[in-house]
Structure 1
């Protein structure tokens, strides 16, 4: 049986080199013989069930030893259908949006303008905009246009 594990480690860094905790976790996974796809919000590793399950404690330890304050893990069985995407990148973005909604106390589209701007800042700080098509997804969650999200992002740089 083949498994995939998607793990994220926090704190996220929006720009610059990846954080040490993420690099150490990836290196540990690769050292265990797992194939790894390293991304801005998480790492996806694949391998046979025994190898992957045996490596998970070392991966988590490497992330924590590297400075992670939280490690989140999702496991799934991989079917024979290789046409299926390896990972739903939007699930990582959905989790980030959900975290910000809980932090701000409501669905993003119900927030006032200032709170929406704060939500965009928080998502940016957590690396959400490193994902492809994230601006569209965030705009939809906020109930605004992509142009508005870009304005919020540009305003944050000023």
Structure 2
């Protein structure tokens, strides 16, 4: 079974280099062989259940040893809630951005996905109901990752 852990470490820092506790937590997840997406608001690590569950103590220890005062964790399986049917306007915006970028959103590399999020934000997509869930599904990433991409664009 595939699991996903979304975690944040505090204290947060605004601009500049990520805090040591966040870097150490990311490194612990990477060393455990997990797939890691690191962003300014937190980290997503995914992998086989045994590997991910086995890595959690090392991730927590690394964050705390790096100066974290809090670690917030959310675990989920690959079986997530069904994605609601997107509003026609949101679906249209997604198709426009795919046409502009020349590929389905899910096939874009990380930089392309970040650009797609910026373009969708510029077009008002995130003002629509359930936009983050729908766009995350179209990108093939988590909601958490979409929020990270949005944060990077500001």
| Secondary structure at the counterpart of residue 28 of structure 1 | helix
Unaligned runs of 5+ in 2: 83-105, 107-135
Quote the RMSD (CA, aligned, Å): 2.8
**Displacement, 1:92?**
6.5
Aligned to 1:86: 141
Residue-pair matches, total: 98
The unaligned stretches of length 5 or more in structure 1 are 94-128, 135-158
How much has 1:130 moved relative to structure 2?
2.7
> Which residue in 1 is equivalent to 2:98?
none
4+ long deviations beyond 4 Å: 80-83, 90-93
Give CA deviations for 1:95-132 in whole Å, capped at 9, x if unaligned.
Answer: xxxxxxxxxxxxxxxxxxxxxxxxxxxxxxxxxx8355
With normalisation by structure 1, the TM-score equals: 0.55
Aligned counterparts of 2:151 and 2:40: Cα–Cα separation in 1: 6
Do the aligned partners of 2:28 and 2:58 also contact (CA within 8 Å) in 1? Answer: yes
Question: In the superposition, relative to structure 1, how do residues 15 and 87 fare at CA in structure 2: closer, same or farther (>3 Å)?
Answer: same
- Using the alignment, how far apart are the partners of 1:92 and 1:57 within structure 2? 26
Q: Distance in 2 between matches of 1:86 and 1:50?
A: 22
The residue aligned with 1:15 is 15
